[in-house]
Amino acid sequence: MPNLKHWKESFSTNSRIIWMSFSGKTGIILLILFLVMAGYVVAFYYPTITTEYAQGVTALWPYKYPVNAPPCWSVSNKFNQRIDIRYGDLNKTGIEKTLITVQGLFGPIKIEGYKTEYFYKFKYKSNAFPSDVLVSTAVRVGENVSFIKLYYTLDRPDGSRITFYDSTLQTGKITALYGAIERKGNNISVLPLGLTYISQSNRIYSFLMRSLQKLYANTSIIVNPIIDNELLFAKVVNGSKGETLVPLKGDYTINITAVFLPEKGVSPTSNRGSVNLTSFEWKFMPNCYGLFGTDNQARPIGLGLLLGVPFAFVIGFTVTFVSTFVGAIYGTLAGFWKDIRGEALMRVADIVNSLPFLPILIVLSYIFRQSITLMVLAGLMILLFWAGPVIVIRSAALQISEQLYVEAARASGAGASRIIFRHIFPQVLPYTIAIAVLSIPGIIVTEAGLALLGFGDPTAPTWGKMLQNAYNSQAILNGWWWTYLFPGLALVVFSATFLLLGRAIEPIVAPKLQK
C-alpha cells in the first residue's frame, strides 16, 4: 500500500485541525465519553440487564429501587431513615393459652384456645414520607386447625391503630396477606408489593381502607382508592394552605396476633395444628433516588440513560453508514454515466428524496409492528434515507470524472469499474463521511419518535422507549419531570455530539459543503 503513509499523515493533520476548533474539541470529548459508556454497557449489561430493563420486569426491581422517586438533588426534605424489617427482626411470643370468644347459638361463649403473637417496634424519625412501603406477609394455617382469627395491626404513637387484617383464614394453606404469591418450582415465595399497588381484590384492601377512612374521618383528607402510603405515618396539621399531612414521629408497633384452636387430639405446637408466619418483610423506600430518579416501574433513570447509549450508536451508525455508502455508490454511478442511465438514476433518487419520510415510515412500522426489532427499524429507515446524499455525491463525482488523471486512466484503457472504484469513489468518500456524521442526529430523533408511537424494539432500552414510557404513564400530568427530561437531554447531547463533529469535519473533507 503506497498510500498508507500519505493517509497516516493526512489523518494526523486532519485530526489536529478538528481538535483545534471548539466544536471539534467538544464533539471528540463527548464522542469518547459515549464510546466508553457504550463499551461498558456491552461488556457488563448486555443482553440480560438491557432486556430486563426494556421489558420492565417489575418483579426484579421493587426490592432495590423506589417507584417514581425524583432525583435527590431536587428534594429538600429527604426521607433519610432506612427501615428494613425482616422475618428475623420480629419478636415472637411462644404459644400461650387464652380465652377465645366465639359467637354461639345463645350468645357469646368463651372457649380455651391458643394465641401466638409477633411484633416489632420501630421509631419513625424522618421529616419526610417514604416513597413506597413494600410489604410482604404470608401466614400458614395448619390443616387441623378448627378455628383461626388473625389480627394484623399497626399501632401509632398517637394511640390510634391501623388495621390491616381482622378476620379468619383458610386452613391447610399459605395465605399471602400482602404481595403476590409466586411459585418457583416447589418453593413458594411471596413477592413484595408496594402499598400503592394493592389491588382491590387483595384481602388486606377493604380492612386497610376502612381503617384509614375512620382515622381521617374528621379531616378534609380523602383516602384515595389507590392507597397512599403516606397515610400510615401521617398526622393532619392545619396550616396556611388548609389541612396538610406531616409525618407523625414516634414509636410504631407492627403487631400480628393469631388466635386459634386446634382440633381435638392435635398439639398446638405441631405443624398441623398451629399457625405460623412464614414470610414477613417491610421495607421503606427513600423518597428520592440518585442523580436522575426512578420511573413508574421502579427502574432507575440513570441506568436507562447508560443502557441507551450502545443502542443509539447501533441504530445511528447502521442507518447512516449503510445508507450513505449505498447513496455514495449510487451517486458516483449517476455522475459517471453522463447519458440516459445517469439521468434515470437521478430521477429515481429524486422520487425517493421527495417522499414524506415520517408518514411512510409510520405506515411501514405499523405493518411490521409484530416483528419489529432494531434491525427492522434500521432497514426501513435505510430504504427511505439512502437517496439523501446522492445529489451532493453526484456533483462531486461529476467534477472528479472530468479531472485529467481520470482522462489519463481512461486513455490508458482502464475499464469503467476500475475508473469508478479506483479513481472516483476514493475521492468521493471524504464527502460521505461528513454527510454520514451530520445525518446521525436525524436518525436518532426519528427512532425516538417511532418509539413514542409504540414502534420500538421490545428488547432494546432506547431513550425513545423511556420517553414513551414516561408519556404513557402520564408523567407530564403527574409532575414526574425527571422521567422525560433526562432521556430527552441524553438524545440532545448525543445528537449535538455528531452535529459538532460534522461541522468540524466539513471544512476539511469537503470545502464545498460549507455553503
Q: Which helix (H) or strand (E) holds 33?
A: helix 22-44
Q: How far is the CB of 315 from other proteins (least distance, A)?
A: 14
> Can you tell me which residue has the cell 483545534?
20
Under the criterion CB under 8 A, does residue 248 sit at the interface with other proteins?
no
Residues 255, 253: Cα–Cα separation, whole Å: 6
Per-position x/- string for 465-494, each x denoting binding to other proteins as judged by CB under 8 A, each - no binding: --x--xx----xx-x-x--xx--x--xx--
Q: Grid coordinates in use for 108?
A: 357469646
Q: Could you give the angle at which helices 357-367 and 374-385 cross, rounded to 10 degrees?
A: 140
Per-position x/- string for 266-305, each x denoting binding to other proteins as judged by CB under 8 A, each - no binding: ----------------------------------------
Least Cα distance to 317 among 13, 38, 55, 503 occurs for 38
Is omega for the bond preceding 2 within 30 degrees of 0, making it cis?
no
Q: How far is the CB of 136 from other proteins (least distance, A)?
A: 35
Among 130, 300, 335, 442, binds other proteins (CB under 8 A): 442
Q: Which helix (H) or strand (E) holds 379?
A: helix 374-385
Q: In whole angstroms, how far apart are CA 230 and each of 126, 129, 137, 235, 236?
A: 12, 6, 20, 9, 11
Residues 330, 352: Cα–Cα separation, whole Å: 13
Using the minimum distance from each CB to other proteins, give the nearer residue, 226 or 358. 358
Among 495, 501, 506, 510, binds other proteins (CB under 8 A): 495
Q: Grid coordinates in use for 445?
A: 430523533
Among 174, 181, 362, 374, binds other proteins (CB under 8 A): 362
Among 58, 85, 357, 409, binds other proteins (CB under 8 A): 357
Using the minimum distance from each CB to other proteins, give the nearer residue, 379 or 449. 449
Which class for 415: exposed (0-12), middle (13-18), buried (19 or more C-beta within 10 A)? exposed
Under the criterion CB under 8 A, does residue 354 sit at the interface with other proteins?
yes
Residues 64, 44: Cα–Cα separation, whole Å: 19
Among 452, 508, 509, 513, binds other proteins (CB under 8 A): 452
Read off the amino acid at residue 428: V
Using the minimum distance from each CB to other proteins, give the nearer residue, 291 or 445. 445
Q: How far is the CB of 163 from other proteins (least distance, A)?
A: 37
Under the criterion CB under 8 A, does residue 458 sit at the interface with other proteins?
no
Per-position x/- string for 365-384, each x denoting binding to other proteins as judged by CB under 8 A, each - no binding: -xx-----------------
Read off the amino acid at residue 302: G
Under the criterion CB under 8 A, does residue 192 sit at the interface with other proteins?
no
Under the criterion CB under 8 A, does residue 509 sit at the interface with other proteins?
no
Q: For the chain, percent helix, then strand, then coil, each to nearest 5? A: 50, 25, 30
Under the criterion CB under 8 A, does residue 177 sit at the interface with other proteins?
no
Under the criterion CB under 8 A, does residue 507 sit at the interface with other proteins?
no
Q: Where are the alpha helices (DSSP H) in 295-339?
A: 301-336
Under the criterion CB under 8 A, does residue 340 sit at the interface with other proteins?
no
Using the minimum distance from each CB to other proteins, give the nearer residue, 57 or 489. 489
Among 57, 351, 375, 416, binds other proteins (CB under 8 A): 351
Under the criterion CB under 8 A, does residue 359 sit at the interface with other proteins?
yes
Using the minimum distance from each CB to other proteins, give the nearer residue, 255 or 353. 353
Give backbone dihedrals phi and psi of 228, rounded to 5 degrees, phi first.
-90, 125
Among 97, 241, 264, 515, binds other proteins (CB under 8 A): 515
Q: How far is the CB of 477 from other proteins (least distance, A)?
A: 7
Q: How far is the CB of 25 from other proteins (least distance, A)?
A: 15
Using the minimum distance from each CB to other proteins, give the nearer residue, 136 or 296. 296
Q: How far is the CB of 326 from other proteins (least distance, A)?
A: 18
Q: How far is the CB of 493 from other proteins (least distance, A)?
A: 8
Give backbone dihedrals phi and psi of 55, rounded to 5 degrees, phi first.
-85, -10
Residues 166, 258: Cα–Cα separation, whole Å: 10
Under the criterion CB under 8 A, does residue 100 sit at the interface with other proteins?
no
Q: How far is the CB of 164 from other proteins (least distance, A)?
A: 35
State the number of binding residues for other proteins (CB under 8 A): 40
Instruction: Write a three-state SS string for 226-285.
Output: CCCHHHHHEEEEEECCEEEEEECCEEEEEEEEEEEEECCCCCCCCCCCCEEEEEEEEEEE
Least Cα distance to 193 among 177, 212, 206 occurs for 177
DSSP 70: P
Using the minimum distance from each CB to other proteins, give the nearer residue, 381 or 424. 381
Q: Which residues of the chain form contacts with other proteins (CB under 8 A)? A: 350-351, 354-360, 362-364, 366-367, 441-442, 445-446, 448-449, 452-454, 467, 470-471, 476-477, 479, 481, 484-485, 488, 491-492, 495-496, 499-500, 515
